[in-house]
Structure 1
Amino acid sequence: MLVPLLAASILLAIGLGSAGVAPADTLRYLWAGLTGGSIRADEVPQYQIVWQLRTPRVLLAAVVGAGLGAVGVAVQAMVRNPLADPYVLGVSSGASVGAVAVGAFGLLSALGVYAVSAGAFTGALAATLLVHLLARSPLGTTPLRLVLTGVALSFGFQAVMSTVIYFTPSGEATSAVLFWSMGGFGAATWGVLPPVAATVVAGALALRALGRPLDALALGDESAASLGVNATRLRRVLFGLTALMTGAMVAVSGAVGFVGLVVPHVVRILVGAGHRRVLTVAPLVGAVFMVWADLAARGLAAPRELPLGTITALVGVPVFVVLLRRRGYLFGSR
């Protein structure tokens, strides 16, 4: 059911907006774009809106939503914390520092329009590597050390980011910080879609293949060891996969909150706690939700665009509170 729902959501989201396009015309323009077909001269403006502007944006929203759903499941299992999300390990703060550094100091200027995304991706990976190194101990990397190190470094990265903005006379750094803190797909292009989509799809498939070891890891390290699962090694693999996926997503969308936190809990209520099933459904639910959230962000206050994080928070907070009150055992109490 979710696959046709996602396809219909993508089609409608491409057609809806300040300049509405009928679904039949949307399909015709998409087919022309895919096959190189011809359209009438008077349809060129609508075709450009559909093919050049909305289609890469909507597809990128679906990809990022799917990735956040999958990574949220993996991170919550990795740190054994139902309140964890893809950004708990300092990834978003590191990405913000990278983005601000590009805007403030002109780093990676040779990459042109992709400089900010490249800086954010580099910052995200550097942050996750630093968290992993500082969280290591002679006994291995424990979930608690990972979470505490990630939270502490997030504050440190935010301090660095604020300092850079304070000493930067231009408003570019401030604009970059607002984008990375609130999220959005306004910079989506056909050029950024393939690498992000490839990273997210490959990562999601790899996480799903680790479904059974994740079931064992959720029981605790000792129980996992009794089932033949090396918890430390598995946690390192998960850390690398989630860091790569999150870094790629943050680089093109900024930090979009609540999707990676709420979607895993909703999916567990629907299909149970088995990670293979959850990691099959969560990406689809996340993709559908993100497509409609992005449509709301660009449509509710048109022609102005609302921050995407505002929409996801307005939806995610009530859903999270309802889940907390109705299914309290999911969060450690009855």
Structure 2
Amino acid sequence: MKHVLESVESQFEMFQILNEDGKIVNKDDMPDLSDDELKELMRRMVYTRVLDQRSIALNRQGRLGFYAPTAGQEASQLGSQFALEEEDFLLPGYRDVPQLIWQGLPLYQAFLFSRGHFHGNQMPEGVHAVSPQIIIGAQYVQTAGVALGIKKRGKKAVAVTYTGDGGTSQGDFYEGINFAGAYKAPALFFVQNNYFAISVPVEKQTNAKTLAQKAVAAGIEGVQVDGMDVLAVYAVTKAARERAINGEGPMLIETLTYRYGPHTMAGDDPTRYRTDDLDNEWEKKDPLVRFRKFLEEKDLWSEEDENKVIEEAKDEIKKAIKQADEYPKQKVTDFIGNMFEELPSHLQEQMEEYKEKESK
């Protein structure tokens, strides 16, 4: 049995296209992206890094509520989203607001979501997504259901979800991948392995050598990819999507990545469980630095290009937070009215009571 386990584990080697120096180490799997698409991918990564910095500052100022930092995970998040099509359905976790924004959620609504405003959870027409899931791992079960619905309707689309390494310890994780596998549902299950969940090292979460190998028990395919390499993440996602819409079933994709900040801004202190040496080691793998080197070598990116994106991001963020500030404050009657299409009698009584209070 030990031999069998070792044989399984040895099959999950990290897939990579760009090394830490931005050099191509896997020409055969280089994705077919135009120069404009490569530049757009970099633009989104730089924009998202600025958004993360500004969101942390806004949180500290008391102008945002719940916020989970994203710096370090841009390649994993945006490389995967960039490979999706408009008709694909996104079911994000709470750290996956960037994917939602690039999928079409207006920035001011993302800020309202952070503040707990119900409008932040209302997807605009044509944006196939739900609001970020707070319950760890629950989005995996939902994704299996959405993917089955896509299959039964005969649509050429996939349902895509994300969780962290900690999410793989939840029962919903196994239920989701098992259900999707049993029905060959077109689902892409991402595990963004940043090694510490909230604060527990991944080696204490599981005895498995990789998280990708957990796919084996569910009878689905799994792959481990360098989550700091945006081209590798894109290539794997693109291939997995094609496979899924062709009826070959779901895939579990483990992206090896790192969050540079705390788990959330709600009091987590990563210095209590991470060392400076480890942080410094991962900073050398920064996805933006790696991809920047690659593009500069091809004369596709410059300091001027980057500064332009930074200023553009700051300007749009400033306008979006102002729009969120000016949006009508939510009321108790909003909460009651959003609960049911037809209110039961006891809630109708409460509705009338609060309408009277709010009118004064």
Indicate the TM-score class for this superposition, using the shorter chain for normalisation.
under 0.3
More RCO (CA 8 Å, sep 6+) = 1
Rg (Cα) greater in structure: 2
Higher strand share: 2
TM-score, normalised to structure 1, is 0.27
When you count helix as a share of all residues, which structure comes out higher?
Answer: 1
